Homo-oligomer: A and B are copies of this chain.
């Protein structure tokens, strides 16, 4: 079960964006596994994809199509990642775009394909093709909820965020969905996330906007340190609102929108960690006062990836020595133990080179019983901060991943 609230919020429609979810029988019979997003002609997109050297066929094709044309359709399937599938995989991805283009009336390169699921198996493209007319017919501005469910793999809950914000007297709406539960240590983007707003944003600013948003959301979560072959994140601006186009980063109206988008990105990223495979706790790792971004991230990720730290959290065991050991092996040069402070929520556990004098095991125990815990690590070396979200490591993580295919 996911940590914290598991309900999908009411998903506000975004003018210019229609969605549909249908069942092609790729995953389980009867379960929606193909999702279609239609974007109006005025829509602009910014996209980020996995940095895994072996990216999946749909990632290769989506990149090509994005370079050639403005996307009108996003075609997403779950149950099969179409990764490690060679030339046949590329052909299958292209064929699905071609079939959709014919059914929807656009050019092949106006379709972006996305796949998620098992790696290394041939994509059953004919199953997808068979349901495309049904998907096109079902397209609806109210389709966010069905789409949120339709893109899941090992996820246990649908993940959505939806906000309305008033900018200069204009109502601007943001809705987004994401998926991901295992093979999560996004490097540039998460498994799959689609966030749309009806604001109009000029393309250069939209691209920059996505980059800035990722570095405080999807690029700062990790479940198991495994970066997927299929990660993709799309920021969609349909321009259907009455707010005039934004093109300047210093425009206060853009800043207001960025804050709201940031809330949506952070919410969706955290929901992936809350639903991390086998997760029973959401762990926020705050590294403060680092000398550089690189060392702040090194410390945060070393703690967030440590199986010993993660199993201790699963056991609600305030075994702070494991946190200390992880900080110590993060590769930070000339780290001085005596200057480090470590906190569990507001409780100081390490100070002055060892266990804080005020620390008592029962106080640590009390914090660890919660299901949302913040580890704060003060390095006292500079002014750079970094936050990473992760989850604990439970029996169920092993169970889910040992039984995923067998």
Contacts and interface: CB of A to CB of B under 8 A. Distances in A.
A85 B225 CA distance: 30
B228 A325 contact: yes
Contact of A224 (B88, B307, B354): B307
A329 B52 contact: yes
A312 B85 contact: no
A398 B120 CA distance: 29
Contacts of A228: 325
A119 interface: yes
A354 B321 contact: no
Contact of A86 (B353, B398, B404): B353
A56 to B, nearest CB: 9
A156 interface: no
A172 interface: no
A326 interface: yes
A123 to B, nearest CB: 12
Contact of A315 (B89, B352, B355, B406): B406
Interface stretch (A15-23, A284-292, A389-397): A389-397
A227 interface: yes
Contacts of A355: 84-86, 120
Contact of A308 (B51, B183, B315, B399): B183
A337 B53 CA distance: 8
A87 interface: yes
A401 B395 CA distance: 11
A321 B118 contact: yes
Interface string A180-194: 001101010000000
A277 B79 CA distance: 33
A83 B354 CA distance: 8
B398 A52 contact: no
A335 interface: yes
A398 B314 CA distance: 9
A137 to B, nearest CB: 34
A306 B325 CA distance: 20
A316 B119 CA distance: 17
A185 B302 CA distance: 13
A46 to B, nearest CB: 23
A402 B311 contact: yes
A224 B320 CA distance: 17
A332 interface: yes
Interface in A310-333: 311-312, 314-317, 319-322, 324-330, 332
Interface string A158-201: 00000000000000000000000011010100000000000000
Given A84-B354, A319-B404, A226 B306 contact: yes
A1 B89 CA distance: 42
B312 A401 contact: yes
A179 to B, nearest CB: 17
A221 to B, nearest CB: 15
A119 B224 contact: no
A403 interface: yes
Given A52-B328, A337-B53, A315 B402 contact: yes
Contacts of A225: 305-307
Interface string A51-78: 1111100000000000000000000000
Given A54-B335, A87-B353, A119-B324, 10 more contacts: A52-B325, A53-B332, A88-B354, A185-B329, A187-B329, A225-B305, A229-B324, A229-B325, A317-B405, A394-B398
20 contacts: A53-B329, A84-B321, A84-B324, A84-B355, A86-B352, A118-B319, A118-B321, A119-B325, A120-B320, A120-B324, A120-B354, A182-B308, A183-B308, A187-B329, A226-B325, A227-B328, A315-B401, A317-B406, A395-B395, A398-B398
